[in-house]
Amino acid sequence: MTPHPIYYHPQTYNAMRLTNGKPLSFGGPVAQRCTAFPTIGWPFGGDLRRSRLCRLVAAAWFVLLPGAAAAVESEAQATAPESPLIYIDTSFENASPVDWSFGESGEVFVNLMYDHQRSSPNRAAGHIFFAVEAPAGSTVRLVLQRFDNVWNGKPGSPVSERTVLRVSEDGKRWSAVGTQYDKTANRLTVDLSMTAGRLFVARLEPYRLSDLDELKRRIANCPGVRIETIGRTVEGRELEMISIGRADAPHHVLIRARAHPWETGGNWVIEGLIDRLLADAAEHPNRQSRYQVHIMPLANKDGVARGRTRFNSRGYDLNRQWGAPADPALAPENAALEAWLQRMIAAGKRPGLAIDLHNDEQGKLHLSRPDEGAEAYLGLMNRFESLLRKHTWFREGSTGATFRNPGSFGEGLWARYQVPACVLELNANHISVEAQSGRGAGPTAEKPVSEGTNRSPARTDSSKNNRLERTADAELWRQMGAGLVDVFFDFFADTGENRDSR
Ligand SMILES: [Zn+2]
């Protein structure tokens, strides 16, 4: 029962204070309160806080604690830091709450904050977005930590050797920056070259509530656009459904993004999709007659507003528990979408495809194996995957033959509403692209970097012949969104009774 070395004691951590640059601890006998050990209950299941076992666990912690405490203390004891860091600013929209301390070697330990799932050991920290202030020309070594997430009751990390961060001087033009990953400590180190006195650091190119407001302003008066409020979040924010195309189209597609607040890729896909749909409405009006797209662009608005990582403001994972109706008090964001779906189905407009857009470190299409109708479901999803490969740069593939994730958006919508649905994870770091050209195909061997962007150049991966790797960015995700217009057009060709005449 050895604790993971980096599951340090949060109460001890919180008890460390620096006053006039010197550490001051007022921790006291924290072991007397078992609520001080919220992160160690999970391996055993159930509520251990008042149990005898909890007291034993607490005692074990104090046997094992000195190493962890010493590590924390050594971070906090540097009273004359060598680091050029002046300040880490998290005062702006969607910034990730962090605290930090100076290390003895001039590094700055930046501690993320977890958000937690209710009635569960699950917790998540992975959203990174803050501004570093230090003299221009200096280098700030940041050591990012507290990535000890718990998913589905198991420890997991949202970062790896492949993780890249994004840096920007103005918050608009972003460049990728590599990191060093320490697997044992589950930490990311980045040496930040201060090209200006203030640099934004982010996990992904941010997409905030204000970005959605700007999109809505831009498209509200375009033909074929309908923006409807379908409900409100826990904290009362409006939940939008943006519909594009003809309401009497024979086919309907549902797209949701930002169930998990840190995963911004889906919003850039949606921007690319909408731009192409609106351009096509003028150029190729016949395309719009085949399908209408319905987009829930920011499902977890509260989490985005608060700079959180995964759960909503009542500790609910909006990509779980889709096997049964959502509790409107705990997950009004899902309840609103369910009510919308039921209205659509009652009106004879059952979506023929639904996609939940996410980001992770693998970038696969997640296909579950439902109890009922798995063969029909997988047939449709294989068709979707092959069209993604044809019309976009997507090459990551789908989950394996034994993959199952009951309660996720994909399986839940199929089981309850007979809507073929999937979770599409967008690779948060690099994408592999074949050296080819075409709309939505991404960078090519001849033209590895999109014009007008300030991105890291693609690099050839010799292990994959004829393939390039490029850091995933908003421009690539926009290209995928543009390609989805063709994916949907072909997906609904010659399928079923609503067949459209070309
Ligand atoms: Zn996700």
**pLDDT reported for residue 78:** 47
At the second CATH level, the architecture of 78-203 is: Sandwich (2.60)
User: Which range, of 60-69, 206-215, 293-302, 374-383, averages the lowest pLDDT?
Assistant: 60-69
Q: What pLDDT does residue 326 have?
A: 98
Distance separating alpha carbons of residues 271 and 297, to the nearest angstrom:
10
pLDDT of 495 strictly over 70: no
CA of 332 to the centre of ligand 1 (A): 18
Q: Residue 435 C-alpha to ligand 1 middle, in angstroms?
A: 29
What is the model's pLDDT at position 19? 65
Compute the mean pLDDT over every residue in the chain, rounded to the nearest whole number.
Answer: 83
Share of the chain above pLDDT 90, in %: 69
The predicted structure's pLDDT at residue 469: 74
* Distance in Å, CA 315 to ligand 1 centroid: 15
* 400 C-alpha to ligand 1 centroid (Å): 18
pLDDT-derived band at 14, boundaries 50, 70, 90 = very low
Q: Which long-range contacts (CB under 8 A, 24 or more apart) does 84-88 make?
A: 84/134, 84/135, 84/138, 84/139, 84/140, 84/194, 85/132, 85/133, 85/134, 85/140, 86/133, 86/134, 86/135, 87/132, 87/133, 88/130, 88/131, 88/132, 88/133
Task: Report pLDDT for 462.
Answer: 42
Give the residue with greater pLDDT, 163 vs 437.
163
Q: What spacing in Å lies between the alpha carbon of 426 and ligand 1's midpoint? A: 9
Q: How far is the CA of 4 from the centre of ligand 1 (A)?
A: 24
CA of 360 to the centre of ligand 1 (A): 7
b (16+ CB within 10 A) / e for 252-268: bbbbbbbbbbbbbbbbb
Q: Where in the chain is the domain with CATH 3.40.630.10?
A: 213-429+474-491
175: β partners: 167
Band of residue 25 on the pLDDT scale cut at 50, 70, 90:
low
Supply the pLDDT for residue 292.
97
- pLDDT score for 385: 97
Residues 6+ apart with CB under 8 A from 293: 243, 244, 245, 252, 253, 255, 273, 277, 488
pLDDT in the model for residue 459: 46
Tens-place pLDDT, residues 149-201: 999 999 999 999 999 999 999 999 999 999 999 999 999 999 999 999 999 99
Q: What is the pLDDT of residues 232-282, one digit of tens each?
A: 999 999 999 999 999 999 999 999 999 999 999 999 999 999 999 999 988
Query: Could you give the C-alpha distances from 418 to 77, 220, 334, 412, in angstroms and in order?
Result: 59, 31, 17, 9
Q: How far apart are the CA of 70 and the centre of ligand 1, in A?
A: 35
Ligand 1: centre distance to CA 307 (Å): 15
Strand 149-151 vs strand 154-156: parallel, antiparallel, or unpaired?
A: antiparallel
Three-class DSSP category at 142: strand
Residue 76 Cα to ligand 1 middle (Å) = 34
CA of 57 to the centre of ligand 1 (A): 32
- pTM as predicted: 0.82
Residues of the chain with CATH 2.60.40.3120: 78-203
3 state SS for 162-225: CCEEEEECCCCCCEEEECEEECCCCEEEEEEECCCCEEEEECCCCCCHHHHHHHHHHHCCCCCE
What is the H or E stretch that residue 289 is in? none
Distance 208 CA to ligand 1 centre (A): 16
Question: How much distance in Å is there from the Cα of 359 to the middle of ligand 1?
Answer: 6
Which CATH code of 3.40.640.10, 3.40.1280.10, 3.30.428.10, 3.40.630.10 fits the domain covering 213-429+474-491?
Answer: 3.40.630.10
Centre of ligand 1 to C-alpha 162, Å, is: 18
Instruction: Average the pLDDT over 422-433 and give the result.
Output: 89
Q: Would you call 256 helix, strand, or coil by DSSP?
A: strand
pLDDT of residue 76: 53
Confirm if 16 and 78 have CB atoms less than 8 A apart: no
Ligand 1 center from residue 40 Cα (angstroms): 24
* Strand-by-strand arrangement of the 459-460 sheet: 430-434, 467-471, 459-460
Give me ligand 1 centre to Cα 195, in Å.
32
Cα 260 to averaged position of ligand 1 atoms, centre (Å): 5
286 Cα: distance to centroid of ligand 1 (angstroms): 35
Q: Residue 454: which pLDDT band, with cuts at 50, 70 and 90? A: very low
